[in-house]
Structure 1
Amino acid sequence: MTRKRLTNGQKLQIVRDCEQRLANNESLRSIARSYGVQGKQIRQWRDKQSLLAATKSTKKSTSSGAKGRLQEYEDEIMTWAFHQREAGVPMTYKHLVVKAGQVWPEFRKLTDGQQYHTVRRLCQRKKFAVRRIIRNSSSSSSSSQTDHPNEIVSEVEGWLAVMRPIVRAPDVQQKFVLNMDHTQMFLSMYPHPSLNLQGERTGNGRRTTDSGSRFTVTCTVSANGDKLKPHLIFKGERNGRIATQELPTNPYREQVALCCQNKAWQDGINMADYVDKVLVPYLQEKANGVPCLLLMINDTSARWTDDVKERLEQIGITPYKIPPGCTCLVHPLAVGIWKPFKDQVRSKWWQWMIDQGADKSTFVSASRELRTKWVCESWEAITQVTIRNAWRKPGFSYFPQEE
């Protein structure tokens, strides 16, 4: 007979059917044979009906299983976790991993996978699940509506039909086919999902004093896999103390271009700074007459001033704007680079938070020097293969897919 494991709900159903069939003078052996089980098993299930009914019907055993590694410390860990959630502090499995390592040092010797699964099983037993954090606000805001990618396929195909011959022209070198974009990096990268009791649909999350503060990172890549120097914009007066005293002494100032703006936005002046500090040094080896193409988002804001356009023309760059709503399909940085880059930065922030300890009641921001270091290291970790494959998806690059 083939071995099988039934859930507690299935066992209870077999017991109920068995009682009805026994009342109709059927033998226990024939009933057991029809279900593919032994008669002895049905008798055991019949004796344990109350236990089976009290246990979750989807489980396959009434046993609670092996004792968890954290059994001696789980009350202390979960009490701390509940207090953190009551205070509105976002919680993740990583927070509990750090706390477990504090109360039981031997826990740190386990592998990352063992730590994660141990904490995850603890949360399951304590009915602690991941929930989305909500923000209480007196005013409701609606997000901008964007077209679904399937609805803009025809527009994308039309734009690519024009751009591919330009990018693949015989006189165009892939080294000088560039793609640039900027993204916001927040100072406090606390998680939006948080652990919370099962049954509670959402949970409140505490905001820190600088949780909405950010800095802007502008990155540029070429079709042959080159990475240009990142351009960072911090919040501050353009000619204030941060810009004139702190940034010039930043130990990573040679690896990135640094500047300030009142709201840490990319504006016309900083765009001109980006052209002078990032594009000009990269194009120094470009021979006269060699075309240089710059693919960018179709942005009509004030950052594209006449001065910026004139500077691009002076250094021989022809800008091409990507149609709005198409970035997810044809924008190399958005297609395959921003995600791994931001994951790298967040990973470094997490490690920094872990080093501070799990008992912090508030999330603090890292220094500008440390954030610059994270950007430099994360940008360095993006491989040439990743960049080439990001260009390959919209069909701009000659390179085959690489692993």
Structure 2
Amino acid sequence: MARKRLTNGQKLQIVRDCEQRLANNESLRSIARSYGLQGKQIRNWRDKQLLLANTKSTKKSTSRGAKGRLQEYEDEIMTWAFYQRDAGVPLAYKHLVIKAGQVWPEFRNLSESQQYHTVRRLCQRNKFAIRRITHTSQTDPNEMVLEAQNWLAIMRPIVSAPDVQQKFILNMDQTPMFLSMCPHSSLNLQGERTVNGRRTTDSGSRFTVTCTVSANGDKLKPFLIFKGERTGRIATREFPTNPYREQVALCCQKKAWQDGVNMEDYVDKILVPYLQEKANGVPCLLLMDDFSAHWTDDVKDRLEEIGITPYKIPPGCTYLVQPLDVGICKPFKDQVRSKWWQWMMDQGADRSTFVSASRELGTKWVSESWEAITEVTIRNAWRKTGFSYSPEEE
């Protein structure tokens, strides 16, 4: 008779069926024959019925297997691993291999394959699996909260001084934009292993938008940085004819990044016109992150010339204390993406190829989306950071 290897669940079901048929006066031999088994196999399973019921039904054996090599060190290794993860430290099997070699030196004598599979089984027993990281942080988030609170404790007396006006407390930051915003996901039939998606030919058409807001809800003109030479064709021929050049400031950089040179352009084109309303002796504060382009000697000298005192937001704290990050950039970018979708639909839903938008269209979307950000949204973002600006405080 051919050998069969059944799962524990199948064995248990045969035993239960056998009990019913024996009660109906069927012989064990005939029952076994109907399943293509030997009678002694069923008798053995009947004797181990309780063990079968307490073992994983998909397994084909009640044996727990050989004792794990790391069993007596398991608690120490896994306690260390969970502690590392609580601290936000990424782990790989290799890290646990190294730790196992530290707590049990003989483990190092095993082959690389044996080490890997031993650690992998250790992780499986403890339901410790490889997962995609959803947030990257250089430091403990709790430490960042404390550092942000300490920074706010220093800044509140400065921004609350009698001679400081909310209109001249500014926050600036850059955010990337794309002339093509093709999504990375799509509606598709469930179960399909491949989900195709067309992209535009230049789906990486990136530009940078520098945004600035004041604590009283003012929006300064957006500063757009497109890819190109500072004195090239785009800057000298295209920008002067852009119909939205009055609503935004335009410049070029080789990689469409903010750098020290166009940071000086930002100061001259955005901050200087805004400060024309400032009376002599009224201080102006500019909050910026620690991006190196913001803090070159030339930029600091230029800010000092026009009477602006810059303050550096601690690294890793911008999501807590920078108003643009807290409540302005996301609704702004959502507005731009909405306009891109509408433009795509206007091209026709049955298009077989997609093209990127022009720089003029990108400029239009930024201008209209920035205009749609309300004073209430800006003031709420400042309030949420902990500066606590409200109408009653004016």
Q: TM-score, normalised by structure 1?
A: 0.61
2:360 & 2:198 partners in 1: Cα distance?
26
What SS does the corresponding residue of 1:377 show, helix, strand or coil?
helix
Which residue number in structure 2 is paired with residue 212 of structure 1?
204
1:315 & 1:302 partners in 2: Cα distance?
18
For residues 253-332 of structure 1, what are the structure 2 equivalents within 5 Å?
A: 253-299=245-291, 301-302=292-293, 304-332=295-323
Q: Which amino acid aligns with 2:219?
A: K
Deviation (angstroms), 1:204: 4.6
Deviation (angstroms), 1:324: 1.3
**8 Å contact kept, 2:200–2:356:** no
Aligned with residue 180 of structure 2, among 188, 193, 204: 188
Unaligned runs of 5+ in 1: 1-140
2:193 & 2:325 partners in 1: Cα distance?
32
- Superposed CA offset, 1:42-65 (max 9, x none): xxxxxxxxxxxxxxxxxxxxxxxx
Q: Which amino acid aligns with 2:167?
A: K
**8 Å contact kept, 1:233–1:261:** yes
Q: Which amino acid aligns with 1:318?
A: T
Deviation (angstroms), 1:205: 3.5
Correspondence 1:382 to 2:373: yes
What SS does the corresponding residue of 1:209 show, helix, strand or coil?
coil
Aligned with residue 245 of structure 1, among 237, 243, 246: 237
For residues 163-174 of structure 1, what are the structure 2 equivalents within 5 Å?
A: 163-174=155-166
Q: Which amino acid aligns with 2:322?
A: H
Deviation (angstroms), 1:360: 2.2
**8 Å contact kept, 1:312–1:318:** yes
Which residue number in structure 1 is paired with residue 340 of structure 2?
349
Moved over 3 A (4+): 141-151, 200-207
Deviation (angstroms), 1:187: 1.4
1:162 & 1:262 partners in 2: Cα distance?
38
2:358 & 2:218 partners in 1: Cα distance?
29
Deviation (angstroms), 1:225: 0.3
Which residue number in structure 1 is paired with residue 386 of structure 2?
395
Q: Which amino acid aligns with 1:239?
A: T
Q: Which amino acid aligns with 2:256?
A: A
**8 Å contact kept, 1:327–1:334:** yes
- Superposed CA offset, 1:87-108 (max 9, x none): xxxxxxxxxxxxxxxxxxxxxx
Q: Which amino acid aligns with 2:276?
A: Q
Q: Percent identity?
A: 82
1:254 & 1:203 partners in 2: Cα distance?
43
What SS does the corresponding residue of 1:308 show, helix, strand or coil?
helix
Pairs aligned (count): 260
Deviation (angstroms), 1:192: 1.8
- Superposed CA offset, 1:162-187 (max 9, x none): 01111111111000000000110011
Correspondence 1:159 to 2:140: no
Which residue number in structure 1 is paired with residue 18 of structure 2?
none
Which residue number in structure 2 is paired with residue 43 of structure 1?
none
**8 Å contact kept, 2:318–2:325:** yes
Which residue number in structure 2 is paired with residue 229 of structure 1?
221
**8 Å contact kept, 2:179–2:359:** no
What SS does the corresponding residue of 2:216 show, helix, strand or coil?
coil
Deviation (angstroms), 1:353: 0.2
For residues 327-338 of structure 1, what are the structure 2 equivalents within 5 Å?
A: 327-338=318-329
Query: CA 1:188 to 1:292, structure 2 compared with 1: closer, same or farther past 3 Å?
Result: same
2:275 & 2:194 partners in 1: Cα distance?
51
Deviation (angstroms), 1:327: 1.2
Deviation (angstroms), 1:149: 3.7
Correspondence 1:373 to 2:364: yes
1:361 & 1:147 partners in 2: Cα distance?
46
Deviation (angstroms), 1:302: 4.2
What SS does the corresponding residue of 1:295 show, helix, strand or coil?
strand
Deviation (angstroms), 1:200: 4.2
Query: CA 1:289 to 1:374, structure 2 compared with 1: closer, same or farther past 3 Å?
Result: same
1:361 & 1:313 partners in 2: Cα distance?
54
**8 Å contact kept, 2:288–2:294:** no
Unaligned runs of 5+ in 2: 1-132
